[in-house]
Amino acid sequence: MNLPKYFEDPKTLHLGTMPYRAYYIPFEADKSAFEILETAREDSKKVTMLSGDWKFHYYNNRFEVDEAFIRTEFEAKNFDTIPVPSCLQILGYERNHYTNVNYPFPYDPPYMPDENPCGAYIKKFQMTKEQVDKKNFLNFEGVDSCFYVWVNGRFVGYSQVSHSTSEFDITDFLMAGENTLAVLVLKWCDGSYLEDQDKFRFSGIFRDVYIVTRSKEHIRDFFAKSEVSSDCKQAKILVDIEYFKNLVPTTCLLLEADDKTGSFSEDGKKLLGQAKGNILETKQVSDGHIEFEIDHPKLWNAENPVLYTLLLKTEDEIIVQRVALRRVEIIDQVIYINKVAIKIKGVNRHDSDPYTGAAINQKQALKDFELMKQHNVNGIRTSHYPNSPWFLQMCDEIGFYVISESDIESHGSDAFYHAGHQSTFGDLVQMDIYHEAICDRVESNVRHNKNCGSIIFWSLGNESGYSKAFEDAARWIKSYDNTRLTHYESSIHETGGHKNDTSMLDVYSKMYDSIEKVDEYLNNKDNKKPYVLCEFIHAMGNGPGDIEDYFEKIYKDDRFIGGFVWEWCDHAVYMGKTIEGKDKFYYGGDFGEYPHDGNFCVDGLVFPDRRVGTGLLEYKNVIRPVRAAIQDLASGEIYLENKLDFTNLKDYLIVSYDVICNGDTVESGVIEELDIPAKSGKSINLNFTVPSDGICYLNLNYILKKDRPFLAKGHILGFDQLLMKEGRFRADKDKDNSVTIAGGDIQIEEDERAVTLTGSNFRYVYNKLTGTFDSLVHNQVSYLEKPMEFNIFRAPTDNDRNIRAEWEKAGYDKKIVRVYHTKITSGEETEITSNLAIAAIQMQHIIDIDVIWSIKKNGNIDVKVNAARNTVMPYLPRFGLRMFMPKVFGKVQYFGYGPYESYVDKHRCTYMGKFEQRVSDMYEDYIKPQENSSHYGCHYLNVSDERNNSFEVTGEEDFSFNVSEYTQEELTMKMHNFELQKSDYTVVCLDYKNSGIGSNSCGPELIKKYRLDEEKIAFKWSLSFQG
């Protein structure tokens, strides 16, 4: 097909399109505001929805396209029928392709390869004579990457910017009766250089398509600004209206705000439950500008998203706009909403679904919103492009602080070959040919979404470097909208000698700053801007593990507004089920694509299908609405601090509490009334009694007091666990120690390789070449299926991806044990002492170990370890023992952090307690297998079979353990969870310590205090057998 090469011309961004305007849907004039709110947009008589079944044909390039497809008489016999919106890759027309930084085409801006796949779309639709006699505007809300449009065989126009609405006036192209819409979508265009986001590279018409029918003269655009006085006691709504051609008689009505937050229909398309608001004021528009003044306004915030309702009414149509009154400002480096210093507990969110790709509808978005609210999330960064316009309106209603990001990312310009380490990060955006495109994309974001009050930041884009184009765009935003703040992290990069002017940017934004970098910024008095981490605590795989450390800093300093976790959901594509019924989710490289970045897209707080992971549970409890501390243990007084910014706890939650001793509840109560204002604290006397024996905790649950949108009464918003009395857990405090040590003398047989110890009820075989046991048989029950071993490795987590190379270089995964000396001492107990070292081929010692095994006459064993780590080597993943028990040992009881997986830096979603679980349930099913389901801070472990034969472990100090159906070798070797083969054993890892999780897959190195890097190691465990 002979196409004009607009797709390679940065000066032709759009052809035949209307100027950008705010998103709205007009309805027929006889409807009330609340009827409109409870009506899906496609049910407006002003809208002809074209989403649905379309005819489609895929071509490898534009040269193959049959030019006749644009004609009304064309018979699409060889065309398929596909749904729109959709992604062509998900439908199987192309292989899926995930890449983060690298462009999937040669870097040759603005040109594209001739082999540039195309999709030809055809839609037949009906229009009445009444409709075609009016103005008709064709809207595409999202097409990747660019597209040409024909109506009834005539060329209408061209547009690009994938995540932006393109609107065409097709009035002169329509006829009464059947009409034909033909669209040719190209996979790549010159704009693709600006759309190098970290995601699957989907293409096609992936958002809704519809026609809006209007009168010849009508409201074209409007901007409803909120202006709140400095004392927040008065407010104005300033409405500027732009008309298509001439001013139309317009009545503006303002309805009172409703304190009740609305809920949504199941499909997310209708706003339900709004009370019938009274009219506050009615005004006639005379010059395109009106103002409403409001005394003692009800102000919007993410905790209480109160909205006023504005109606713009002409003779034959009505537009309803929900308006958030809020004041956003910076005072002394602190961001305030309505004179309150806020904290953002946010997430970065892509449009991503394993079944539909980037084609996301309201129902799917509603599920994300529900999960976010249930887990205390209050902020969303639309990474890295604007969302569908209805998405942002839902954010207004539900209550989120939003960074609306422009559809710009070009970090691939820093990935191509060059000598040395010269940075070319901003190479593309420095080009004059892209100046207009950058400004256009920023303007599109702002003009389309300007009436969404949840947006408190306009972001210029992501990871593209900086240039005059961004400076001009920021300057334009400041002149156009003074009610919000500007954001752009990539302004920290200077390229090509350009001296960055960041005066138009309101915040200092960074990604993945370490705790040290956070302190460095906050302690530097020369820094004058608020501080935000637009990406932090990378949530890839098992993680993130350092959330609490960051929020200690966030809560400590008002200049540190908070941050947005990278990222909300795992990106993956659903590929059916295995024979065993296991879901298969594919990531980068699984489709044979090049280049790709593997599973770097599987980096969310929730799994692809929105199963909640422990990372989200951890985040939820770190950002819980209340924090507690014991103030006076003797009198039973605690201190509760309200961490919310606007909400008094009085009508929000109740607190239930339990006094727990040795894992058992000994006292309970409920605090029904908590009159604690936002950002305040209060002492509460619970009059509890501290038990005299055992380890004791006070557990506090923060429980929602009444139903709220997405949250049912009784929902647990978070919890605290406060240590009341230190001690060691005893599984049976009444156990008679005199019984446990009974037994006959131990018979010893020794040869060059082994020591066999036989007692009245046991037979153990100790391996002198490994320093551990090959066999443990007690009361005729075997507890080892294969030899025990010292263990220093773990299946690397995604957050271990950087340190993993050092671990493997040092040979941690290929260890060899050498025992130098073994000594046996008999007496009341039999002691076996071995001196050994762990090393690897071609490597020096990793760790030197002195171990003493004390075998009692009843078969119980004490193990005492003193070890010296070689500090030249990297820190250890873990250190301890690994046992391979018979598969029948499938029950686990423990006292430690549970019931979810827990690590030294990732245990805030767990609590110290007594737990009982099946081994089959002790597994976190990460898409890419890795270390999981360890338990930190343990006092006691019992692994048993159905006949109550059991193996018990206690320690003088806390230890970690992992009981699994999988070996660490299997978890390391397999690339997908559905490929895993269960072990023939129950695998038990007893760890002195397990290094923390961190977020180093993209974030900073693991914080030093969470590394197993001490030089001297000492611990003692008691192992016993029952049954």
**What mean pLDDT value characterizes the chain?**
96
Q: What is the mean pLDDT of residues 304-322?
A: 96
Are 773 and 871 in the same domain? Answer: yes
Which of 256, 280, 313 is a domain's end point?
Answer: 313
Are 759 and 808 in the same domain? Answer: yes
- For residue 98, being part of any structural domain is answered with yes
Cβ neighbours around 339 below 10 Å, total:
13
Name beta bridge partners: 312.
Answer: 252, 319
- For residue 164, being part of any structural domain is answered with yes
What share of the chain has pLDDT > 70, as a percent? Answer: 97
- pLDDT-based confidence at 275, cuts 50/70/90? low
**For the chain, how many structural domains are there in total?**
5
Are 838 and 932 in the same domain? Answer: yes
The whole-number pLDDT of residue 707 equals: 93
Instruction: Summarize pLDDT for 823-842 with one digit per residue, the tens.
Output: 999 999 999 999 999 999 99
Q: Is the dihedral of CA 803, 807, 808, 813 positive or negative?
A: negative
The whole-number pLDDT of residue 497 equals: 78
Alpha-carbon distance of 749 to 765, in angstroms, equals 9
Q: What is the mean pLDDT of residues 664-674?
A: 95
DSSP string for residues in 728-766: ---S-TT--HHHHT---PPEEEE-SSEEEEE-SSEEEEE
Are 97 and 206 in the same domain? Answer: yes
Instruction: Summarize pLDDT for 777-791 with one digit per residue, the tens.
Output: 999 999 999 999 999
Are 759 and 710 in the same domain? Answer: no
Q: What is the mean pLDDT of residues 556-582?
A: 98
The whole-number pLDDT of residue 860 equals: 98
Q: What is the mean pLDDT of residues 842-864?
A: 97
Q: Position of tokens 């902020």? A: 379
The whole-number pLDDT of residue 691 equals: 86
Question: What is the span of the domain harbouring residue 535?
Answer: 331-569+604-621
Are 657 and 781 in the same domain? Answer: no
Question: Which CATH number goes with the domain that contains 208?
Answer: 2.60.120.260
- For residue 597, being part of any structural domain is answered with no
Instruction: Summarize pLDDT for 387-421 with one digit per residue, the tens.
Output: 999 999 999 999 999 999 999 999 998 877 765 55
Tokens of 585: 């989710």
28 is catalytic: no
Are 634 and 721 in the same domain? Answer: yes
Task: List the catalytic residue out of 141, 463, 901, 931.
Answer: 463
Instruction: Specify whether the CB–CB gap between 532 and 563 falls below 8 A.
Output: yes
Q: What is the mean pLDDT of residues 741-751?
A: 83
Instruction: Summarize pLDDT for 698-709 with one digit per residue, the tens.
Output: 999 999 999 998
pLDDT at residue 739 above 80? no
- For residue 322, being part of any structural domain is answered with no
pLDDT at residue 893 above 80? yes
Are 896 and 942 in the same domain? Answer: yes
Which of 725, 755, 778 is a domain's end point?
Answer: 725
Are 338 and 483 in the same domain? Answer: yes
The whole-number pLDDT of residue 422 equals: 53
The whole-number pLDDT of residue 740 equals: 45
Coil/strand/helix, residue 191? helix
The whole-number pLDDT of residue 734 equals: 45
pLDDT at residue 424 above 80? no
Of 191, 145, 99, nearest to 415 by C-alpha is: 99
Are 878 and 1003 in the same domain? Answer: yes
Tokens of 765: 């075989």
Return the beta strands (E) in 62-176 as ranges. Answer: 80-84, 98-99, 118-127, 135-140, 143-144, 146-151, 154-160, 166-169
Q: Position of tokens 């008689």? A: 249
Alpha-carbon distance of 769 to 757, in angstroms, equals 16
Of 919, 920, 911, nearest to 938 by C-alpha is: 911
Which of 725, 748, 783 is a domain's end point?
Answer: 725
- For residue 301, being part of any structural domain is answered with yes
- For residue 48, being part of any structural domain is answered with yes
Task: List the catalytic residue out of 8, 405, 535, 965.
Answer: 535
Alpha-carbon distance of 472 to 479, in angstroms, equals 11
Are 702 and 846 in the same domain? Answer: no
Instruction: Summarize pLDDT for 998-1026 with one digit per residue, the tens.
Output: 999 999 999 999 999 999 999 999 999 99
Are 912 and 1017 in the same domain? Answer: yes
- For residue 326, being part of any structural domain is answered with no
Distances (CA, A) of 406 to 87, 382, 438, 449, 459: 21, 9, 9, 11, 6
- For residue 598, being part of any structural domain is answered with no
Coil/strand/helix, residue 7? helix
Instruction: Specify whether the CB–CB gap between 712 and 704 falls below 8 A.
Output: yes
Q: Can you give the three-state secondary structure of 907-970, one letter per residue?
A: CCCCEEEEEEEEHHHCCCCCCCCCCCCCEEEEEEEEEECCCCCEEEEEEEEEEEEEEECCCHHH
Phi, psi of 582 (to 5 degrees): -85, 130
Alpha-carbon distance of 930 to 545, in angstroms, equals 15
The whole-number pLDDT of residue 736 equals: 44
535 is catalytic: yes
Instruction: Summarize pLDDT for 214-225 with one digit per residue, the tens.
Output: 999 999 999 999
Tell me the angle at which helices 614-622 and 547-556 cross, rounded to the nearest 10 degrees.
Answer: 20
Coil/strand/helix, residue 822? strand
